[in-house]
Structure 1
């Protein structure tokens, strides 16, 4: 039986909507940074410095000390950073629309399931930020208050790049077609189910780069951009397997520098 070719008009609409969602998420993050008086490196101006110094236990309304606003911020950040990394996966599924019984409803399901997993992760890391904030480990802007936390995070995430868990999760993210062929489900519900699985492996692969936000500030747009670029490269079939461990070595070296620099400078 002849399989139907993908509808080019529907394809255009869906892909444009997908990229518009990414651009909207980045715009919201930029607008939030400007409203908080932060530059692109997450460094506070006068108002931002006052915000960073606030005690979360003070009796005043501080959005960055409440779960709801923090969760919304992290959810938007997940969209801005992780949706670009999904492009190779969605392209792989699109190939199956023309060569198998994939559908655009299934394509949307994969996107939805993947997004649900990262929204769940956003809830977890927002809770972690609140715990760190009230414990004095990070300030109101999510910046580590001690070089031990910042350096330790860099070393831990760098070391994770060399682990078997990283290799397994990266293998799935690096070859989404293999995952689809081994876990194929049809229709929207099937797409959601596959998206949930892919999202879980993606969290296992990339959680560390989200946690690194505490090393330089969770509203550091420059870090967000560099982390997104690296995670996109890591998932490309041609170069993904080449960059993982060198990045781990760079992160470990950066952590060592962060831990030793205050001692060398007498800080």
Structure 2
């Protein structure tokens, strides 16, 4: 029998992507959702922007963590323990914090009327490329790629604290790519789908090839914007 937290996780993923499609759809209710996203940077605008980033984080990051969640459940089953729901809750808490931070940054940019020009986008792409090949990225990615080792090292902490630690490690892997949503990828299904696939491949892969390839793509995009 499928554990309740897996049913809830799959339901959240499905609901998240359906909601993202609705937000982007050219229908009357999709337009309404987009209007919330495009509202002014006042309190209600901040709330809507936070909701947008929460939705994006859930839809994009939970799929990349499924192998780790499954590994935890395998270990828990052999020991006759549970905790899968607490693990997911701890993981989600970290990304909820990221969503709030991203919403605050996006609202601050809008409030300060900072133009998101080609130069701004290029700078963000270059920053993302630099982080892709940084030691911090490599260290976090190494832990994400070996969930069995991760859980064996931290099992005594309990599922919720392990979930928070796993979320922080995942954040260390992926925050720079997620931040690219600030330059026009926010609520773009194409951007979100591509970023989700790339982040998942990074965690499933071995060696530096995929992170370096993503860095090169970011630099190419920055070069195109600078030369345009």
Q: What TM-score do the two structures reach when normalised by structure 2?
A: 0.88
Cα contact 1:78–1:122 (8 A) shared by 2: yes
Which whole-Å CA distance do the structure 2 matches of 1:137 and 1:225 have between them? 27
Specify the alignment match of 2:180 in structure 1. Answer: 212
The answer on 1:176 being equivalent to 2:147 is yes
Which whole-Å CA distance do the structure 2 matches of 1:111 and 1:62 have between them? 29
The structure 1 segments of at least 4 consecutive aligned residues displaced by more than 4 Å after TM superposition are 238-241
Q: How many pairs align?
A: 224
Specify the alignment match of 1:42 in structure 2. Answer: none
Which whole-Å CA distance do the structure 2 matches of 1:62 and 1:178 have between them? 43
1:75 pairs, out of 54, 65, 77, with 54
Q: What whole-Å deviation, never above 9, does each CA across 1:225-253 have from its counterpart, x for those lacking one? A: 000011111111x4474311111111112
1:93 pairs, out of 72, 76, 92, with 72
Which whole-Å CA distance do the structure 1 matches of 2:107 and 2:179 have between them? 13
Specify whether residues 137 and 102 from structure 1 end up closer, same or farther in structure 2 by C-alpha distance, changes over 3 A only.
farther
Specify the alignment match of 1:227 in structure 2. Answer: 195
Structure with bigger helix share is: 2
The answer on 1:34 being equivalent to 2:11 is no
Which whole-Å CA distance do the structure 1 matches of 2:196 and 2:59 have between them? 8
Q: Over aligned residue pairs, what C-alpha RMSD do you find?
A: 2.6
CA-CA distance at 1:25 after TM superposition: 0.6
Answer with 1 or 2: which has the greater Rg.
1
Cα contact 1:71–1:126 (8 A) shared by 2: yes
Task: Give matches, 1:1-267, under 5 Å.
Answer: 9-11=1-3, 13-34=4-25, 56=40, 63=44, 66-103=45-82, 106-137=83-114, 144=116, 146-185=117-156, 190-236=158-204, 238-239=205-206, 241-261=208-228
Unpaired runs of 5+ residues, structure 2, are: none
Cα contact 1:159–1:252 (8 A) shared by 2: no
